[in-house]
Each structure stands twice: as C-alpha cells, then as structure tokens.
Structure 1
C-alpha cells in the first residue's frame, strides 16, 4: 500500500520579517512526516506536503508563537 501525502495550506498572520519565516519553516520541518515546506511571506501562508497531521503542524506553530489556521487541504 502506498503512503498518501497531504498538502496543507496554512494562514500564518503573525509573520512580519525574515526571522519569522525561518522560525515558521523550521517549526514545520520539525514535525515528523513533513516532506516539503514553502513559506510565502507576502501572503502570510505556509504550504506543507507530507504525512504530518494537521493537528501536529498547527500545534508546533502555536508552540513557537505563530498560531495558524487551515486555508485548504488536499492529497498528493
């Protein structure tokens, strides 16, 4: 059976500098199952691809001070 990757697009409104981007990206990459992370500073969004759970991703962002909400979810 093949593993199915999810793609989550998250709104991260608290980002306002390059340091924020690095923190958000590092936090998301720490979550087990994360394969790819892309952070868009201008849109204040992060896209995550992998097998990580949405709850784990949102929890890790909360833990580093960047509460986020889901914009969209899909399968890859």
Structure 2
C-alpha cells in the first residue's frame, strides 16, 4: 500500500485541547503512521496509508471542519 503525506486544513480549533483532540482522532485512523497538528496555521500533516475521506471524517467527528489541502506520495 502506498504511503502519503496528507495536508489538511482544519477549521474551528481554538486551543491546545483542540489540537490534542484532532491529533488523537487522526492517530486512531488505521494506516496513520504520524500526525502533527498546528493550531496557529489551522492545519494537520499526516503520514501513512490512510484514506483521505476517513481522515476528514475523523476530524469532523471531533466537531471540527476539515478539507484536503495536498497529498503527495512518499
């Protein structure tokens, strides 16, 4: 299975609790090897073989809006 670096735009994060919630949700998605969340930039960077739609849904289930920015093969 191919591995990707996926950049997501995240809307609605206001504090470090939000960052932890989004990061935890992304890390629980099967295929995710690494997830980093940037509060100031309102973005998340994910590495692994996870499906983009599953990543977006995981963030949205935490109460935030998410959209795909870029995805590149590693």
In the superposition, the TM-score normalised over structure 2's length comes to 0.95
How many residues end up aligned between the 2 structures? 74
| Corresponding residue number in structure 1 for 2:72 | 74
Task: From the two aligned structures, give the one with the greater strand fraction.
Answer: 2
Which of the two has higher C-alpha Rg? 1
Aligned-pair distance for 1:67? 1.7
In the superposition, the TM-score normalised over structure 1's length comes to 0.93
CA RMSD between the two structures: 0.8
What do residues 2-40 of structure 1 show as CA deviations (whole Å, max 9, x unaligned)?
A: x32111100002111000000000000010000000111
The unaligned stretches of length 5 or more in structure 2 are none
The unaligned stretches of length 5 or more in structure 1 are none
* Runs of at least 4 residues off by over 2 Å: none
Mapped to 1, the partners of 2:10 and 2:28 lie a distance apart of 17
